[in-house]
Each structure stands twice: as C-alpha cells, then as structure tokens.
Amino acid sequence: MPLRSQLQRMTGRDPGEADRAGSSLEILYDLVFVVAFSVAGAQLARYLVDGHYLAAIAGYLMSTFATIWAWINFAWFSSAFDTDDWFYRLLALVQMIGVGIIAIGLPQTFTSIDAHAHIDLTVPVIGYIVMRIGMVTQWLRVALQAPASRNTALAYAGATLIAQIGWVLLIFVPTGLWETMALILVLIAVEFAGPFIAENRIRRTPWNPSHIAERYATLMVITLGEGVVGTIAVLQAEVARDGWSTETAALGLSAMGVTFLMWWLYFALPNGQVLTDRPDKAFGFGYGSMPLYMACAAVGAGLHVVALWIEREVSIGPLAVLLSLAVPLGIFCLGLILMHRYLVGYQLIQWPMAIGAAVPLAVGIILADAGQPLLLCVVVVGLAPLVPVVVAEVRTD
C-alpha cells in the first residue's frame, strides 16, 4: 500500500503560490521552539531577581539567538522547498529533537556565565549538531533534485558545516568569559554570512513572501502567549496560598492587556505585501525580527519578575523590577516602528508612534524612581503600545 505522503522531488515551491498558509508540521515546529524561549525566559527572570545581571542578559541573548536562528533556517527552507513527504517530516523531527536538546542545556549556560567561567555550550552545541544533521540533509537533497538551485543549496550546506565546526571547537578552546563572547560574535557573523552569500551572490531560493510573513507572525503569536504562562503560574501559586489581592488582580490584568496590545501593534503594520513588492528587504526583515522575538519573550520574563516581587521573592529594588519589563517592552515597540520604517520608508506617523511608545515608558520609570507604587508604574509602562496601535489604526482607516 503506498504511503499517503510519498516521496516528492524537492525542486522548489512556487514563490507566487497564492494563499499559502503554514502547515500543521510548521506550527508544531514553532511550538517546540517556544519551549526553548520559555526556558530562556525562566532563566532570565531567575537571574534578574537575584541581581545577577550579566548572567541574565548575556545568557538570555545567547540562548534566544541560538533558538531563533535555528527557527529562521527551517522557516525559510520550508517556504522554498517544503515537500511534506515522509522523509521531509522525519528530518523535521530530527531538527525538533535537536531543539529540545538545546533547551535542556540552556540552564547550564547561564550558570557558567554567572560563575565568570568558560561559557558552557556543550549541550546546546550537541543539540545544534543533531538539528543540523537534519538541515544539511535537506539542503543536500535540494542539491541532488533541483539542478537550478544546486549551487545555492551546496553553499547553504557548506556554510552550515563550517559554522558548526566553529561551534564545536569553541567548546574545547580554553578561553575566559569575555574571550568566549568575542568568539561567539565571530561565529554569529559566519552564520549570517552563509545565507547572505547564497541568496545574493548565487541564486535566490523560491521562498514565498506571504508565507514567510505568516510564519513570522505565527511564531510571534505563540511567543506572546508563552510569555503570559510564567506570570500566571506565579500568580496562581500566590492566589492558592494567600487568596486574591489587589496586586495579583492588577498584575494579571496588566499582563493580559500588554500582551494584547503587543499583538495588535505587530499585526497593525504590514509585512507580507512589502516582501512581495520588495524581496530585497527580505534579509533585513528576517534578521531584524530577531531582536523583536527576543524582546517579546523578555517581556514575559519581566512580567514574571513583577509576579515574583509580589511574592516578596526578589533581591532587587522596585526600579530594577520595573526596568526588567520596561526595557524589553520598549525594544519591542520601538523595534517594530523601526522595522516599519525599513520596510515602507519614512512616514510622518512614525514619529507620533515612537513618541507615544516612549512617553509611558519614561513616565513609569520616573514614577518608580520617585517611590510610587510599583504596580501603578507597571500599568503605566504597559500602555506603551497603546498610542502606536491607535495611530496605526487611524492611518489604516
């Protein structure tokens, strides 16, 4: 009996395919990746509440970069070459297993940074090896079955292998904390260079602009939802122990409100049509979205820190607690406005959007520094996406 998902030739999808949506496999893939976001966010909150800022920030940036970069590689490949046959699905499973291994190893990475020792990337690198076995195999399949894309596929596969060799060597090089960070930046540059050279110097892969925009949007929605989970878990424990209070109710409403506004702002600004009209903007959009995902997940961690403050389980002051939320929320809002500027060019509305986002952030921080109630400051800061949303909607109408 033939398999329903028989092997297909991996010759490339039609980049103009209308109404192409993410597959159920792609959505499952996203959910696996968001688990890694959740682990990184939990570690960020843990080290922030103890005042260990270097471990919190450096560990979080490394962890989320590794996670998002792995997702980007698969998202763009699947947009161009998804066959949805059994071999493609099994290789996607291999990649998901690799991501799971990466997530398991993230806490040790934070711990090693906190100890100011050589950064322990052993388990995440092993996860990357597993994941890239699947990814390189996919590219080699393209090289064999799609003559027009052969050189591009080989360039992707070769760049991936070169970068991976660098990550493996990094495990064994006896460098200190700062030297390791410098080497990591070099390897990140190598990672970025591979796709850029393959797409711009050889031949562009047949990715679908609207599909790519939808894939990024789906991951953003899932990341937003995951960001609320940690906060709700802490508040649930607080309510179970001490019952409802004004503080728990205020934070719960604030968490849902800021998440809702972040969602609205993201979808109020166009992506898919711009990528269709200007495919040369693809790399700026693809790479520039990475800080947005980092900030989005960090907002969830910041809300988690505020929840821990309510439980009196923090070693930092109210201003530092507020900054753990305000900084990533500001990066998210202003980053989206800058992305809009990059995609569509300068528009006058970008100024009121940016100012409207910055004012609540500044006011909330000033109030916290003046000793005003922290939850009042959280509510004020949480209004940062509101004016940009209103401006974007008025512009649309």
pLDDT in tens, 239-277: 777 777 788 888 888 889 999 999 999 998 877 678 878
Distance CA 394, CA 31 (A): 33
pLDDT tens digit sequence for 69-89: 999 999 999 999 999 889 999
Tokens, residue 196 = 């850029």
Task: Read off the pTM.
Answer: 0.92
Distance CA 25, CA 28 (A): 5
Position 397 pLDDT exceeds 60? no
Instruction: Provide mean pLDDT across the span 373-391.
Output: 94
pLDDT tens digit sequence for 134-150: 999 999 999 999 999 99
Tokens, residue 369 = 């520094």
pLDDT tens digit sequence for 93-145: 999 999 999 999 999 999 999 998 888 899 999 999 999 999 999 999 999 99
pLDDT tens digit sequence for 4-32: 557 888 888 888 887 788 889 999 999 99
Q: Does residue 248 contact residue 235 with C-beta atoms inside 8 Å?
A: yes
Please state which architecture CATH assigns to domain 210-396. Up-down Bundle (1.20)
- Dihedral class, residue 345 (left if φ above 0, else alpha if ψ from -120 to 50, else beta): left
Distance CA 258, CA 272 (A): 24
Look at residue 1 in the predicted model and tell me its pLDDT. 40
Helix (H, G, I), strand (E, B) or coil at 238: helix
Position 314 pLDDT exceeds 60? yes
Helix (H, G, I), strand (E, B) or coil at 79: helix
Distance CA 248, CA 214 (A): 35
Distance CA 362, CA 330 (A): 10
Look at residue 179 in the predicted model and tell me its pLDDT. 86
- Residue ranges in the chain assigned as alpha helix (H): 24-49, 53-81, 86-114, 122-145, 150-172, 177-197, 209-242, 246-268, 272-277, 282-310, 318-344, 350-369, 374-381, 386-396
| Domains in the chain: boundaries | 24-207, 210-396
Lowest mean pLDDT among 69-78, 280-289, 372-381: 280-289
